[in-house]
Structure 1
Amino acid sequence: MTISRWLTAAALCMLPGLACAADIDGSRLSMLWGVPFAGILLSIALVPLLAPIFWHHHFGKVAAAWGLAFLVPFALVFGPGVAGASFVHALLAEYIPFVILLTALFAVSGGIYIRGNLHGSPGLNTAILAIGAVLASFMGTTGASMLLIRPLIRANDNRKHVAHVVVFFIFIVSNAGGSLTPLGDPPLFLGFLKGVDFFWTVAHIFQETLFLVGVLLVLFYALDSWYYRRNKEVTTQDPTPDTRDAREIGFDGKVNFALLGVVVALVLLSGFWKSPVVFSIVGTEVGLPGIVRDAGLVLVTLASLWLTPKTVHADNQFGWGPMQEVAKLFAGIFLTIIPVIAMLKAGVNGPFGAIVAAVTRPDGSPDPAMYFWATGALSSFLDNAPTYLVFFNTAGGDPAVLMTTLAPTLAAISAGAVFMGANTYIGNAPNLMVKAIAEDRGVRMPSFFGYMLWSFGILVPLFVVMTFIWFK
């Protein structure tokens, strides 16, 4: 979710136990247990549109209400022990590491100010999106998004139409760009932890990524040029030039680049380091590498806030509002998704058995095209990391086989999870953060369904073309 997306330098992906909430037999669950999850998704989609003032002041309470709407009945039906274990697992194995990582990336990237003559021409905007696409695979979609969204918005602050710039930014930087390494997006890091080689993805979906990012950049340049040249895009009176903006392009808060490197190192360390030291908390195993990673990320966050000059935060208009919104909404999402993931894990015996069965051909072999669309469709509305794991296991779960004999299937799963996280605001964690930052800067972003008109009109046709070229 891929609002999940919940995610990424590797967002969520560094969580080895991501989809394994307490032992819940998904085959015994009714589809009704998915109502709270559907409710929070619909709330995110509709309430800001129908009651924006209420949502602005009470979105945290709405998320909490849906979380309780699942947890309380679940405790009554299955017992407080199972409910408590599921809650603790979601908290310790998923939510807390997720929020700690995003907070570290948010703080570090917010401490870097890109100064200079930044004026949003189509060429400059396209260049920023292209740079972000490259950075996303090395510093994660979250890190690249948080680093570049602020200067991109600032560069276009004298233009009438900016929403399309942010929408394409989400398409390219917050999603598609993170498809080449396990550092880029949570699903790929989970695959890395399962045994997929670090460079396998770049070797097997590079062409798909190049096609998607390349076409999107061309489309964006054409659309942005039309707005810029034919629609009287630039305001008649440009803002009074800022003397700081007149300087040569450069960076303030450079210490945060080193801290960003520490974040990447901590994420990688948690994947490579195998330690026998494990603590069991209400049935949830918390390993020493994860503890070290999370503690290190907290220290990185505090170091960034301490070492970054106040002028840099002021220039960046840095504030905690977007991070608070993501933290509160994803708390509800992580909780209400517990039964949904359990039902998916039940495979053909669960309520979603038809979806799982649809990815297999009559002869029993996997169908890459169906894996691409099934993984992608669920990643658009669920966390793309556990969705990746579900179909990874559905395809056999043996990395040696998936990387060789079933390489087209693993490529389809990887591409679907990463690429289609861009279909909705909740498909991947950076999507919602970018939206919140843009709105905080006065950009009038599309509604939940308005954004889907963009994604379904632009992305889905490209996914269809990719299916016939690479996943048939």
Structure 2
Amino acid sequence: MGQGSGLWGRWRGGAVAAGAAVPGLASAAGFNGADLSVAWGIPFAGILLSIALMPLFLPHFWHHHFGKVAAGWALAFLLPFAAVFGVGAAAGSLMHALVAEYIPFVILLTALFTVSGGIYIRGNLHGTPALNTAILAIGAVLASFMGTTGASMLLIRPLIRANDARKSCAHVVVFFIFIVSNAGGSLTPLGDPPLFLGFLKGVDFFWTVRHIFTETLFLVGALLVIFYLIDSARFKAEGPISRPDPTPDTGSIGFDGKINFALLAAVVGLVLMSGFWKSDVGFAIAGAHVGLPGLVRDIGLIVVAVLSFVLTPKLVHQANQFDWGPMQEVAKLFAGIFLTIIPVIAMLQAGESGPFGGIVRAVTRQDGTPDPAMYFWATGFLSSFLDNAPTYLVFFNTAGGDPATLMTTMGTTLAAISAGAVFMGANTYIGNAPNMMVKAIAESRGVRMPSFFGYMAWSCSILVPLFIVMTFIWFR
């Protein structure tokens, strides 16, 4: 599902790139993805449908019990799994998912959430179409250098505040997810986890900016133009009188909580350190291996989050309407997702011998050469609902796994895999972790966001046609 922010997947990257992600987990736990049936994906499908349908049809129940629903689907996977493969296999899968993936994921998101919540852009920006478009463009640039989650958490609050006098600004947040939380992170390995995994596998650091810059410029540029036209039409339709602006006018624009800019740089530095620092030192925690670089990173991120919360003036948190509700929602829902996705990723990693072998075979032409268009859509479709980091690796290895070849004679195929993994995370709310966080923050600020399928109506009507055009231009 592209759950990684532009940063979190990097600490998973070393293990995944070494081939020790799900396949290693599967063999250690005593099961093989090729031996599983598609039925093991039912709990994962169940939690996705719950996220999609319950807020729509059972809003009161969902608001109070979404954590219990997520836990229920996790148990719907773990208990049968323990009965079939043994308690040891279930416990091993559980602890690997928690210690090696989920806990680092939550630590990073918490650090970014806390640090970004401590930065207040002072001044009353008025959400005109021109201003909104400018903020989205700035976010697109920042996303490739500070990660999609970092850029999203930094800019979503001032964007919502700038539009708090408008009758409706849900479309502004939807395009923010399209551009800042996804497409903008496509130019460097700093932007999105799949690209960092490719870097660890041997892809040149600047390869993506050289080979998918035009595609990124087309997608982001087209989205900015479409957004400006839609926002202008809605801005005019609202007329000169809207509801009173709850943000008082001020005479200057500035930043409060500036210490958090340094702490944000520390977050980026800690994550990069864990990706570049090679060490054989590791620890066994609850049966899961944790390397020294990852442990140092996580401890450092916790320290950064605590420092941010302590050093940020309370008035800044009050001005940002900072609360832990959005973070709690994401943490609870993704706990269920991280567990129920285990068999789905294992089946994908099994390649042609697994239940999803048809998908793997579909990316190869009859003459045995790769089909870039199919790589783009297969990688993108799965990245819309699954973790885009292992999905990237599945198709990276399916295409041969040799970075020297993929960067040269098969450059179009690698570009298709990279673009599909990053761009199509915007297709659903669960396609990337920042999507869900932005949605939760917007709703906590009173924005009536589209439902799961309502959001997909936006993505299918705007993103998918652009992806089709990109296919014919770049991935034939």
Worse-superposed segment, 231-240 or 97-106: 231-240
Q: 2:37 aligns with which of 30, 54, 66?
A: 30
Gaps of 5+ in 2: none
Shift of 1:195: 2.1
Confirm whether residue 261 of structure 1 aligns to residue 265 of structure 2.
Answer: yes
Alignment of 1:248-327 (within 5 A): 248-281=252-285, 284-327=288-331
Distance 1:401 1:285 in 2: 32
Residue-by-residue CA offset, 1:249-274 (whole Å, 9 max, x unaligned): 11111110101111111111111110
The AA in structure 2 aligned to 1:222 is: L
Shift of 1:9: 4.7
The AA in structure 2 aligned to 1:14 is: W
Distance 2:123 2:378 in 1: 44
User: Does the CA-based 8 Å contact 2:167-2:242 persist in structure 1?
Assistant: no
Shift of 1:235: 3.8
1:417 aligns to what?
421
Shift of 1:193: 2.1
**Secondary structure of 2:121's aligned partner:** strand
How many residues in Structure 1 have an aligned counterpart in Structure 2?
A: 466
Q: 1:366 to 1:110 in 2, by over 3 A?
A: same
Confirm whether residue 58 of structure 1 aligns to residue 65 of structure 2.
Answer: yes
1:138 aligns to what?
145
The AA in structure 2 aligned to 1:167 is: V
User: Does the CA-based 8 Å contact 2:257-2:312 persist in structure 1?
Assistant: yes
Distance 1:11 1:176 in 2: 17
**Secondary structure of 2:430's aligned partner:** coil
Q: 2:200 aligns with which of 190, 193, 216?
A: 193
The AA in structure 2 aligned to 1:367 is: D
User: Does the CA-based 8 Å contact 2:383-2:425 persist in structure 1?
Assistant: yes
Alignment of 1:62-77 (within 5 A): 62-77=69-84
Q: 1:235 to 1:53 in 2, by over 3 A?
A: farther
Distance 1:197 1:384 in 2: 20
User: Does the CA-based 8 Å contact 1:14-1:189 persist in structure 2?
Assistant: no
Distance 2:246 2:145 in 1: 37
Confirm whether residue 80 of structure 1 aligns to residue 102 of structure 2.
Answer: no
1:46 aligns to what?
53
Q: 1:455 to 1:45 in 2, by over 3 A?
A: same
Q: 1:239 aligns with which of 242, 245, 254?
A: 245
Alignment of 1:3-18 (within 5 A): 6-16=3-13, 17-18=15-16
User: Does the CA-based 8 Å contact 1:160-1:233 persist in structure 2?
Assistant: no
1:465 aligns to what?
469
Q: 1:147 to 1:59 in 2, by over 3 A?
A: same
1:212 aligns to what?
219
Gaps of 5+ in 1: none
Alignment of 1:316-395 (within 5 A): 316-395=320-399
Q: 2:229 aligns with which of 216, 222, 226?
A: 222
**RMSD between aligned alpha carbons?**
1.3
Distance 2:89 2:180 in 1: 39
Q: 1:174 aligns with which of 178, 181, 195?
A: 181
**Secondary structure of 2:124's aligned partner:** coil
Shift of 1:279: 2.1
1:99 aligns to what?
106
2:125 aligns to what?
118
Distance 1:237 1:395 in 2: 55
1:184 aligns to what?
191
Confirm whether residue 203 of structure 1 aligns to residue 210 of structure 2.
Answer: yes
Distance 2:382 2:243 in 1: 46
Residue-by-residue CA offset, 1:175-201 (whole Å, 9 max, x unaligned): 000111111112112222222222111
Worse-superposed segment, 193-202 or 341-350: 193-202
User: Does the CA-based 8 Å contact 1:136-1:143 persist in structure 2?
Assistant: yes
Residue-by-residue CA offset, 1:79-109 (whole Å, 9 max, x unaligned): 1111111111111111111111111111111
Distance 1:85 1:11 in 2: 22
**Secondary structure of 2:431's aligned partner:** coil
2:459 aligns to what?
455
Stretches of 4+ aligned residues off by more than 6 angstroms: none
**Secondary structure of 2:132's aligned partner:** helix
Q: 1:25 to 1:221 in 2, by over 3 A?
A: same
The AA in structure 2 aligned to 1:425 is: Y
**Secondary structure of 2:331's aligned partner:** helix
User: Does the CA-based 8 Å contact 1:103-1:301 persist in structure 2?
Assistant: yes
Distance 1:467 1:26 in 2: 31
The AA in structure 2 aligned to 1:8 is: S
Distance 2:414 2:214 in 1: 15
Shift of 1:14: 3.0
Distance 2:469 2:267 in 1: 37
Shift of 1:283: 5.1
**Secondary structure of 1:251's aligned partner:** strand
Distance 1:74 1:304 in 2: 41
Residue-by-residue CA offset, 1:157-211 (whole Å, 9 max, x unaligned): 1111201000000000000001111111121122222222221111111000000
User: Does the CA-based 8 Å contact 1:22-1:85 persist in structure 2?
Assistant: no
% identical equivalent positions: 76
**Secondary structure of 1:114's aligned partner:** strand
User: Does the CA-based 8 Å contact 2:121-2:256 persist in structure 1?
Assistant: yes
Q: 1:393 to 1:241 in 2, by over 3 A?
A: closer
Q: 1:248 to 1:295 in 2, by over 3 A?
A: same
User: Does the CA-based 8 Å contact 1:326-1:432 persist in structure 2?
Assistant: yes
User: Does the CA-based 8 Å contact 2:165-2:242 persist in structure 1?
Assistant: no
Distance 2:239 2:335 in 1: 39
1:155 aligns to what?
162
Distance 2:185 2:215 in 1: 12
